[in-house]
Amino acid sequence: MPFSLAPACRRVLVGAGCFVFTTMSLPAMADLPPIDARVETLLSRMTTAEKIGQVNLVSRGDPIDGQLERVRKGEIGLMLNVVEPGEVRAYQAAARQSRLGIPLVMGLDAITVFRIAMPHPLALAATWNPGLVEAATRAVAQETAANGVNWTFAPMVDLSRDPRWGRVVEGAGEDPVLASAMAAARVRGYRAGGLATAVKHFVGYGAPEAGRDYNGAAIPASELHDRYLPPFRAALDAGSETVMAAFNTVNGVPVSADRRLLTDLLRGRLGFKGFVTSDYNAIGELINHGVAADLAEATRKALLAGIDVDMEGAAYERHLEAEIAGGRVPIATLDEAVRRVLRVKFGMGLFDRPQPQMPPQPAEAEVRALARDAARQSLVLLKNERETLPLTPATRRIAVIGAWAENDYDQSWWGPAGLTRPATETLLSALRSRLATGQSLEYARGFGDGCGYEQGDVAGAVETARRADVVVMIAAEDCDISGEGTSRAYLGLTGAQQGLLTALAAAGKPLVLVVATARPLALTATEPFTAATLIGWYGGTEGRTAIAEALVGEITPSGKLPMSFPRSVGQIPISYDGLPTSRPPGNDRYTSRYIDEATTPLYPFGHGLSYARFDYANLVIKGSEMSTQSGQIEIAVTVSNTSQRAADEVVQLYVRQKVASRSRPVRQLKAFEKVRLEAGARRTVTFKLNSSDLGYHDDEGRLVIEPGPFDVFAGGSSTASLSGGFGLTGPLVIAEPR
C-alpha cells in the first residue's frame, strides 16, 4: 500500500509522526495539461443540450437509423452493446458529423469472453496467478477491441462472502488481498488489450443482505475500508479510467445518490479523476428506493451525488435541462461531469484517431492456449481419497454419467449476443481421445434433459456404473443459474442430480464427481458418495478439455478456492477471516456454535489439493520485531514437493494480530505466490510485509497501525498449521482520512 510520512499531520496522535495515504497515480488520467486545455476549449463551445448528450449512455437501438440521427445531433455521448464493426463505424461516423465531432465511447460487458471464452472471473481467481489472469484478460480485450468496442464494464471487484448471491461468478471471492491482485491484473490486461475499464460496482454491491441481488447492504466503516475498498484502490492504481456505481443501498442510502461515497470518498479520498457511470437505469430506480418522488428528483440527486453518466435511465436527457434552468442543479456540476467524460475520451486518444481503432484479431491459437492454461490452473481438487485421481491406464473401464458430458456450450457467461463462437470440445470426446490402449469408456446420460433437471434412465446409469472400475459423474450448476439476478436460497446440486448421485452408490464403485459451478455450493449431501471431487467451474472454450486432462493426469490441479464452500446455507455468510468470539466454538453448549451444524466450512478459502504432495517447513521470520512507523519484515518458508510428480503450489501467508484495541480476524491473507516445483524439488519463498500491511481501519475510516504481537501461518490453505510470530513495536500510528 502506498504510504508516506506526512511532515505535518492535521492531528498529531501518539508518536513522532503520522502516516497518510499518498495520492495514487492514474497513469492515463493524471493531470495532463494539454488534455485539460483541450477539454476547456471544447467545453466552452458546447450548448447545454450538447453537454447533456455527453453524459448520456444508451444501448444500441434497433433499428439503428433513428439513433444515428440522435448521435449526429449530439444527443448521445456513450453507447453500449454495439459490437458489429460496420455498426461501430456508422455510429462513430455519425458522431464525427455532429456539430463538435466528439467521438463516442463504445461500451460492452466484455468480461471474460468476446469470441473465445476464458473461465469466468471467480474461476480466474482460483488460479491465484495474476500474471496469467492479466494475459487472459488482455486477449479478451484484444478480441473485443478488434470489433471497435473501446470500453468494458469490468472488472467487477465486489468482494462477497455470500454464495447465494449469483453474481459471485463475476468477482474474485471473499478476500481483499487476492481480490486486489486480481483487480489490478484485470485492469492492466483490459487496458493493454485496448479497452478502457469501468471498475464496478462502487461500493458494497457484493454484500446484499441474505445474498439477494440488489438488496441493501449494511457495512460498518471499518469493514468498508478494510475489506470492500482495497480491490477498488488496486483497480484505480492500475489506471481504471472510469467507475460504475452500485445499484443498492449501503447503510440505508442508495449508492447512486450517496455523495459521501461517490464524491467525498471516491474523489476526495481515493483521488479518482475519471468519470462515474450509473449502473443500468439506476437513476430511475432511485424512485423505487424511495429517495426520489419522480425522475426529475432522481436526476438531481444522482448528479449532485457524483453520478456523471446516466446509463439507460433517460433521466439526464429528459430532466437535466429543466433542473439547470430552474436553478436546482448548478451548470457547474454538469460542466464538471462533462469535463470528466471528455478527459477520458481525450485520454483514450479518441480525438486523435478519427476512425475507430480496430486492431487485428489476436491469433486464435494463442487465445486458445491462454484459455486452456487458465482453465487448467483454475481447477480445484476438493477431495481425493485413496488417490482415486488421476485415472491411470490401470483403470480399465470408466463410466461417465451425466448429460452435461455431451454439452458443447462454452458456458461463457455474458458474452456478446448474436455472435457465433468457436465450438467447445465436449468432456466425452476429450476423455475418449485420451483413453489408453485397453481402456474403455461407457457413457450414460442419466437425465431426461441436458441440464440435469429431469430424471432420466437412472437404472441404466447404475448398470453402466456397475460394469465400470471407476465412475465419473458430471454435475453442473444448471445451465444458467449464475450471474446477475440469480440468487439462490438452496445451494445443493440442482434438479435430479443429487438423486442420480445417490442412486449410483448402489453400484459400489469409486465415484469421482466433477462439478461445473460458478459459485460455491453446499456439497455436504454429495460427500458420502464421492471418493474425489473436482471443481471445474464454467471453464470456457477450453474448459472441458482441461477437465479431461486433469482426470487422466496429463496435468495436475493447482487451483485454490477463492471463496469458502459452506456445509449448509445456514452457515452463510461464511469466510475464513471472521473475528474471534468471546466463546470460541467448542463442545460446550454455551460456545459460539450451531447445535445442528459444524462452524467450519466444508472446504475453506485457499484449499485445493494436488496429485503431488507438498511439505512446508522452516518458517523463518527475519527480525522478530518491526516498527509501526516504517518497518518491514521478511518471512520465508520452505516448500518441498515430496512426490514423484512436478506440480504447481500456491504458497499462502496469513497473519493474526493477537492483541489490539479492536478484535482482529482470526486469520488474514497477506501474501501468496504460485510456484512450480519439480518432483523432489524444494524452494524457499520469501514474503515482505510492511507495517502498513498490518494496519486496520477504525470507525472513521482512519488507518490504524497498532503495536502488538502477531501470529504468522504459512502453507497451502487458510488452515495452514506451520506457524511463528513477531511483534510490532513503536507508537500507535493513525493516518487521517484524506
Active site residues: 279
Query: What's the closest the beta carbon of residue 415 comes to ligand BGC, in angstroms?
Result: 12
Residues of this chain, 479-518, that bind ligand BGC according to CB under 6 A:
484
Q: State the virtual CA torsion across 208, 214, 220, 224 in degrees, nearest 10.
A: 100
Query: What's the closest the beta carbon of residue 151 comes to ligand BGC, in angstroms?
Result: 11
Query: What's the closest the beta carbon of residue 238 comes to ligand BGC, in angstroms?
Result: 19
Query: What's the closest the beta carbon of residue 1 comes to ligand BGC, in angstroms?
Result: 27
Query: What's the closest the beta carbon of residue 279 comes to ligand BGC, in angstroms?
Result: 5
Query: What's the closest the beta carbon of residue 484 comes to ligand BGC, in angstroms?
Result: 5
Q: Looking at beta carbons only, is 412 or 426 nearer to ligand BGC?
A: 412
Helix, strand, coil shares of the chain, percent, nearest 5, are 30, 20, 45
Count other C-beta atoms under 10 Å from residue 262's C-beta: 25
- The 224-263 contact track toward ligand BGC, x by CB under 6 A, reads ----------------------------------------
Q: Looking at beta carbons only, is 164 or 200 nearer to ligand BGC?
A: 200
Q: Which residues contact 501 (CB under 8 A, 6 or more apart)?
A: 473, 475, 493, 511, 513, 526, 529, 530
Counting DSSP H helices and E strands in the chain, the numbers are: 19, 29
Q: Looking at beta carbons only, is 214 or 447 nearer to ligand BGC?
A: 214
Query: What's the closest the beta carbon of residue 277 comes to ligand BGC, in angstroms?
Result: 9
Each as own residue / partner, the long-range contacts of residues 484-487 (CB below 8 Å, 24 or more positions apart, any chain) are: 484/166, 484/167, 484/213, 485/166, 485/213, 486/166, 486/167, 486/213, 487/164, 487/165, 487/166, 487/208, 487/211, 487/212, 487/213
Q: Looking at beta carbons only, is 198 or 334 nearer to ligand BGC?
A: 198
Q: Is 340 in the site for ligand BGC (CB under 6 A)?
A: no
User: Do 543 and 550 meet the contact criterion of CB atoms below 8 Å apart?
Assistant: no
DSSP-derived letter for residue 266 is I
CA–CA dist 129, 141 (Å, integer): 18
Element (H, E) at 632: strand 632-641
Query: What's the closest the beta carbon of residue 124 comes to ligand BGC, in angstroms?
Result: 17
Residue from 165, 202, 228, 280 binding ligand BGC (CB under 6 A): 280
Q: Are strands 78-80 and 56-59 parallel, antiparallel or unpaired?
A: parallel
Q: Please state the φ and ψ torsions of residue 728, each to the nearest 5 degrees.
A: -100, 125
Q: Is 200 in the site for ligand BGC (CB under 6 A)?
A: yes
245: buried, middle or exposed (CB in 10 Å: 19+, 13-18, 0-12)? buried
DSSP-derived letter for residue 603 is B
Q: Are strands 668-677 and 647-657 parallel, antiparallel or unpaired?
A: antiparallel
Query: What's the closest the beta carbon of residue 45 comes to ligand BGC, in angstroms?
Result: 31
For residue 407, give the C-alpha cell. 454439452
Amino acid at 642: T
Sign of the CA dihedral running 250, 255, 258, 259: positive
Query: What's the closest the beta carbon of residue 109 comes to ligand BGC, in angstroms?
Result: 5
CA separation, residue 582 to residues 586, 592, 663, 698, 701 (Å): 12, 8, 10, 21, 25
Nearest to 153 by CA among 162, 143, 141: 141
- The 350-389 contact track toward ligand BGC, x by CB under 6 A, reads ----------------------------------------
CA separation, residue 419 to residues 87, 147, 150, 708 (Å): 14, 12, 18, 57
Q: Looking at beta carbons only, is 416 or 608 nearer to ligand BGC?
A: 416
Q: Looking at beta carbons only, is 484 or 577 nearer to ligand BGC?
A: 484
Q: Looking at beta carbons only, is 80 or 334 nearer to ligand BGC?
A: 80
User: Do 629 and 733 meet the contact criterion of CB atoms below 8 Å apart?
Assistant: yes
Q: Is 50 in the site for ligand BGC (CB under 6 A)?
A: no
Query: What's the closest the beta carbon of residue 519 comes to ligand BGC, in angstroms?
Result: 17
For residue 399, give the C-alpha cell. 463410466
CA–CA dist 363, 94 (Å, integer): 31
Q: Looking at beta carbons only, is 248 or 464 nearer to ligand BGC?
A: 248
User: Do 522 and 572 meet the contact criterion of CB atoms below 8 Å apart?
Assistant: no
| DSSP β-bridge partners for residue 455 | 447
- The 91-130 contact track toward ligand BGC, x by CB under 6 A, reads ------------------x---------------------
Q: Is 153 in the site for ligand BGC (CB under 6 A)?
A: yes
Query: What's the closest the beta carbon of residue 281 comes to ligand BGC, in angstroms?
Result: 8
Q: Looking at beta carbons only, is 166 or 707 nearer to ligand BGC?
A: 166
Residues of this chain, 2-21, that bind ligand BGC according to CB under 6 A:
none
CA separation, residue 167 to residues 481, 517, 601 (Å): 10, 12, 20
Sign of the CA dihedral running 295, 297, 302, 304: positive
What number of chain residues touch ligand BGC (CB under 6 A)? 6
Residue from 279, 310, 373, 410 binding ligand BGC (CB under 6 A): 279
CA separation, residue 576 to residues 564, 565, 586, 700 (Å): 7, 10, 17, 25
Q: Looking at beta carbons only, is 312 or 478 nearer to ligand BGC?
A: 312
Q: Looking at beta carbons only, is 236 or 523 nearer to ligand BGC?
A: 236
Q: Looking at beta carbons only, is 109 or 410 nearer to ligand BGC?
A: 109
Chain residue at closest Cβ approach to ligand BGC = 153
CA–CA dist 585, 566 (Å, integer): 16
Q: Which residues contact 660 (CB under 8 A, 6 or more apart)?
A: 696, 706, 708
Amino acid at 646: A
For residue 691, give the C-alpha cell. 507495517
Positions touching ligand BGC (CB under 6 A) are 109, 153, 200, 279-280, 484
